[in-house]
Amino acid sequence: MPSATPTPTGTAEAHLLDLELAEPSPRPRANLAVVRTEVADPLADHESDHLPGSRGEHLLQCAYGSRDRAKKFYDHQMLDHLNEAMIEFIGRMDMAFIASADAKGECDSSFRAGPPGFMQVLDPYHVAYPEYRGNGVHASLGNVSENPHLAILMVDFVRDLIGLHVNGKARVVEDADIRARHPGIPSDFDRGRIPERWVVVEVEEAYIHCRKHIPHLRPVDRTRDWGTDDVKRKGGDYFGAKASPKPWHQVVHTSGQ
């Protein structure tokens, strides 16, 4: 049987041939130690600890040189509650955009609408909006059940061309429970529809959305099919999604079946 070790050839001395066939000695490695340079924390003055907003936005304000402008915005345009002007504004809004995220941070944006005043101000620190019977998905409510942080944007496209942001912590309250604590909430809501439940938001930030890019719209009369389950009246398969393949329809086959 041939040897597993190849027979060396040549004229080198035996001890050199043994060295040639041996495992190579590890080569000395260069010293790759990195000398770390301490980078000063731009927020080390702790001023941001007392300001609204996230650490991320404060760091970017430092990076982009907008810290002073941002501080003026916080001081001049932001509150931790609703003042009288904000309460009046909310009372005449007939639409709102809702942003939420689940426990993993995956986001959802939604649209809510109703007659002026459908968004209820319970007190300067709490605002609530109704949830009616819908498609049954409960995407926003599902997010709130995992992650209470919620953002509301209301925009006046018609009269003043201005917007209001309300950010805070949300919870879901059944209709009967909220009416027991706030009996002044209207009982005849949205052409006879009664909310099934409400989202109550504890206000943490309330601030303006500037008007410079808000379009001026003019409302027109139209028939609204409130509460309908008719597919065509709700828009049908407008985007052609029904016939498209979906990953959740794929059947997983396991071995032995």
How far lies 139's CA from each of 26, 144, 216, 250, in Å?
59, 9, 31, 22
Rounded percentage of the chain residues whose pLDDT exceeds 90: 53
The count of structural domains within the chain is: 2
With bands split at pLDDT 50, 70 and 90, how would you rate the model's confidence at 20? very low
Residue 108 lies in a domain: yes
The pLDDT tens digits of the residues spanning 179-204 come to 999 998 887 665 667 889 999 999 99
Say whether both 160 and 143 belong to one domain: yes
Mean pLDDT lowest among 5-19, 69-83, 113-127, 191-205 = 5-19
Residue 162 lies in a domain: yes
CA distance 150 to 76: 23
The residue type found at 62 is: C
Q: Reply yes or no on whether the pLDDT at 142 is more than 90.
A: yes
How far lies 227's CA from each of 75, 131, 133, 176, 193, in Å?
43, 12, 7, 20, 7
With bands split at pLDDT 50, 70 and 90, how would you rate the model's confidence at 246? confident
The pLDDT tens digits of the residues spanning 50-100 come to 889 999 999 999 999 999 999 999 999 999 999 999 999 999 999 999 999
Residue 183 lies in a domain: yes
Cα angle 55, 172, 145; round to 5: 55
How far lies 95's CA from each of 14, 58, 71, 77, in Å?
92, 31, 30, 22
Range of the domain at 182: 80-209
